Amino acid sequence: MLQQVELYSALGKAEQNNLFIKLQEVYEKLPKTTCTGCATCCNWGSPPAFFIEYLNMYKHIRDNQKAEWPNIIKKSAEYFYLELVDRQQKCPFLNEDNQCSIYHVRPFSCRSYGLLSKEDFETGNRGLQQLAKKFKEEYDLVIPQEIIDYELPWCDKVVSDAGKFIEKSTLAGYVAQIGTLDCYFFSQDLVDQEGTLLPYPVHLANTILGSGARARKMKIMKQYTEGNRELLDSIMDKALSFHF
Ligand code: SF4
Ligand code: SF4
């Protein structure tokens, strides 16, 4: 699990070193795209984001969408605890109109989705079969088969102003450039292993929920599958008391 990081000092370090500007420069290397907006990709789950992208999203919400913070923290905390036991969990930023509520700061994985050819696209399967086996054996916790099997499909509805797919190696180069920015906060080894490329709710848990809340994840999942939300709701109450 990613070490806990002090949020405010990380934000300060990012500002001092112009990391948000550098992140934007990488984003702008991607072609502009349009799609049908069906939100299939957003319903698959919370996409992976580098830590600097998490900070960028946090800053954007703090500066522009403060009123939405309670809803975001609630949906993110629920996702963090329940993604493996509740198929209804989806990206916390997908709003009621099936639109992205943080579109201008969405992470690279969302921006680049649909830009690879079908041959180059790697399935979004989360490799849950082994984890499901372990959970069943060690905790008697069942991950529903539909969650284990659910894969992010390749999308053929993205239209790019570059007019063609991006080379896989080019995309990997951009990913590496964003990873370099995470080296301001974590070791190069961890970044190279994509250990800082995590869903937004995991970053939120690492910076806001605290280690005690993270340690209760298994217990909360188990309670939830037994129809009990008591512990989840108590942690949610604490999470909602967090202020910028
Ligand atoms: S990228 Fe594809 S799957 Fe995602 S919203 Fe657009 S059309 Fe739908
Ligand atoms: S961040 Fe936005 S675009 Fe990306 S999955 Fe979530 S709702 Fe969709």
* DSSP assignment of 21-79: HHHHHHHTTSPPEE-----HHHHH-PPEE-HHHHHHHHHHHHHH-GGGHHHHHHHHHHH
Percent of the chain beyond pLDDT 90?
82
Reported as a pLDDT band with limits 50, 70 and 90, residue 240 is: confident
Of ligand 2's atoms, which has the minimum distance to the CA of residue 47?
A: 5
Provide the pLDDT for residue 6. 87
Provide the pLDDT for residue 122. 83
What stretch of H or E contains 199?
strand 198-199
- pLDDT of 4 above 80: no
Provide the pLDDT for residue 164. 87
Task: Write down the residue that tokens 């190696």 correspond to.
Answer: 169
- pLDDT of 213 above 70: yes
User: How much distance in Å is there from the Cα of 12 to the middle of ligand 1?
Assistant: 34
Could you state, in order of their start, the residue ranges of all structural domains in the chain? 7-240
Instruction: Report the mean per-residue pLDDT for the chain.
Output: 93
pLDDT, tens digit (0-9, with 9 covering 90-100), for 10-38:
999 999 999 999 999 999 999 999 999 99
Provide the pLDDT for residue 125. 67
Provide the pLDDT for residue 124. 66
| Mean pLDDT of the region 198-219 | 90
> Do residues 87 and 144 touch, judged by C-beta distance below 8 A?
yes
For the stretch 6-13, contacts whose Cβ atoms lie closer than 8 Å and that sit 24 or more positions apart, written own/partner, are: 6/207, 7/58, 7/207, 7/208, 10/51, 10/55, 10/185, 10/207, 11/55, 11/58, 11/59, 13/184, 13/185
User: How much distance in Å is there from the Cα of 122 to the middle of ligand 1?
Assistant: 16
Residue whose CA lies nearest to ligand 2 atom number 8: 42
- pLDDT of 111 above 90: yes
* 106 C-beta closer than 6 A to ligand 2: yes
| Mean pLDDT of the region 35-42 | 95
User: How much distance in Å is there from the Cα of 41 to the middle of ligand 1?
Assistant: 6
* 100 C-beta closer than 6 A to ligand 2: yes
Closest-approaching ligand to the CA atom of 114: 1
* 47 C-beta closer than 6 A to ligand 2: yes
- pLDDT of 105 above 80: yes
Percent of the chain beyond pLDDT 70?
98
* 49 C-beta closer than 6 A to ligand 2: no
- pLDDT of 106 above 80: yes
Which of 88, 1, 232 is CA-nearest to residue 240? 232
Provide the pLDDT for residue 230. 95
User: How much distance in Å is there from the Cα of 184 to the middle of ligand 2?
Assistant: 25
From 41, 106, 109, mutation site for ligand 1 pocket: most ligand atoms within 8 A of C-beta: 41
pLDDT, tens digit (0-9, with 9 covering 90-100), for 174-202:
999 999 999 999 999 999 999 999 999 99
User: How much distance in Å is there from the Cα of 107 to the middle of ligand 2?
Assistant: 8
Provide the pLDDT for residue 1. 58
* 42 C-beta closer than 6 A to ligand 2: yes
Reported as a pLDDT band with limits 50, 70 and 90, residue 238 is: confident
Reported as a pLDDT band with limits 50, 70 and 90, residue 69 is: very high
State phi, psi for 222 to the nearest 5 degrees: -65, -45
User: How much distance in Å is there from the Cα of 96 to the middle of ligand 1?
Assistant: 16
| Mean pLDDT of the region 138-147 | 93
From 44, 50, 91, 115, mutation site for ligand 2 pocket: most ligand atoms within 8 A of C-beta: 91
